[in-house]
Amino acid sequence: MKKEKFTVVSSCNDAFAEHVSALFVSILENAEGSAADFDFYVIDDEISIANKRLMRETVKEYDAALHFLTIDKKYFADAVESDRIPETAYYRIAIPELFRDQDIERILYLDCDMIALADISALWEIDLSGYTLAAVEDAGFHHRLEKMAIACDSTKYFNSGFMLINMKTWLSENVTNRVLRYIHDNPEKLEFHDQDALNAILHDHWLQLHPKWNAQSYIMKREVEHPDPEGEKEYFQARRDPKIIHYSGHVKPWSPEFTSSLKKYYEEYEDLTAFNEEENEEKSSEKASSTNKTGLVG
């Protein structure tokens, strides 16, 4: 029997090409098995040829595969955008449809602003029977289902930056089209954009995972206390042993304004990308050129 590859998908524009590359490196560096077991896919939102080259060079070092996919933007004409959440964020809704003809049981979707600190292959051992996806509760506690007036058994609301998707269930339940229809019919309700729409359709149909798999900034920085004692205990555990850090705040670790010690995890893996190698080469070239101009060399 052919072994299923670990399929990881992100959605990226040109500005995030370097950062999603750091995410891929972090996954590969922490893989306990072969890095070749991973297939990475990027929904391409006008990424430049130069950046695609650097992205490919980055994963090529590990013998992993990187593929670029395109999406028909007309399906997202009703998307509610903001300065922090562009149209690109909505593309995750259509990801399973892009793999409809492939024999893939599950897909892991990850936002570009994440870094893995452990082997993620264990996620492929989770039993998703009866669930459309597995995710982590959003740490904002914004009571979004109540505010959207969604009739549900549980008011728990997941963060869509990490979604372990059960392909068979998602496709058979026509989830993509249902979510897009909700976006079209309820734009005024989408304060948290695609995440609101996904929760509006998939409430009560997702498996809750430990927050260590999506250790959001709220959790890691102790900016929020879980209303439930057991949840607070899990937050403590997530801070001690995060599997995936999610830099979910407005200020990202590649920004000079980001002062948290969490920055070191991003920098560790960004240093291993081809983007960092090119930046160092450019700096060396500029330094040599400057030295020549001063008459100290040549």
Residue 116, in any domain of the structure = yes
Strands, sheet with 6-13, edge to edge from the N-terminal-most edge strand: 65-69, 38-45, 6-13, 106-110, 158-166, 133-137, 206-208
Residue 247 lies in a domain: yes
- Which pair of tokens denotes residue 242? 């995060």
**Positions in the chain whose pLDDT score sits under 70:** 1-3, 75-89, 280-298
Instruction: Say what the pLDDT of residue 3 is.
Output: 66
Tens-digit pLDDT profile for residues 14-40? 999 999 999 999 999 999 988 889 999
Q: What is the C-alpha to C-alpha distance for residues 76 and 182, in angstroms, rounded to an integer?
A: 12
In a domain, 298, yes or no: no
Residue 158: inside a domain, yes or no? Answer: yes
Which residue range(s) make up the domain with 272? 6-293
Report which of 89, 45, 53, 51 is spatially closest to residue 70, judged by C-alpha positions: 45
Instruction: Give the per-residue pLDDT at 33.
Output: 84
1 inside domain: no
| CATH number of the domain where residue 272 is located | 3.90.550.10
> What domain count does the chain have?
1
Q: Does residue 135 fall inside a structural domain? A: yes
Q: What is the pLDDT of residues 136-178, one digit of tens each?
A: 999 988 888 898 888 878 889 999 999 999 999 999 999 999 9
Identify the pLDDT of residue 5: 87
Per DSSP, helices labelled H in 114-258 are 144-147, 167-172, 175-185, 193-202, 217-220, 229-240
In 3D space, the residue among 221, 270, 219 whose CA is nearest the CA of residue 113 turns out to be 270
21 lies in some domain: yes
Backbone angles phi, psi at 94, to 5 degrees: -95, 0
Q: Residue 75 in contact with residue 43, Cβ under 8 Å? A: no
Per-residue confidence (pLDDT) for residue 151, from 0 to 100 = 86
Two structure tokens written together for 220 = 């890691």
Residue 248 and residue 230: Cα distance in Å, rounded?
A: 23
How far, CA to CA in Å, does 38 sit from each of 49, 65, 149?
23, 7, 40
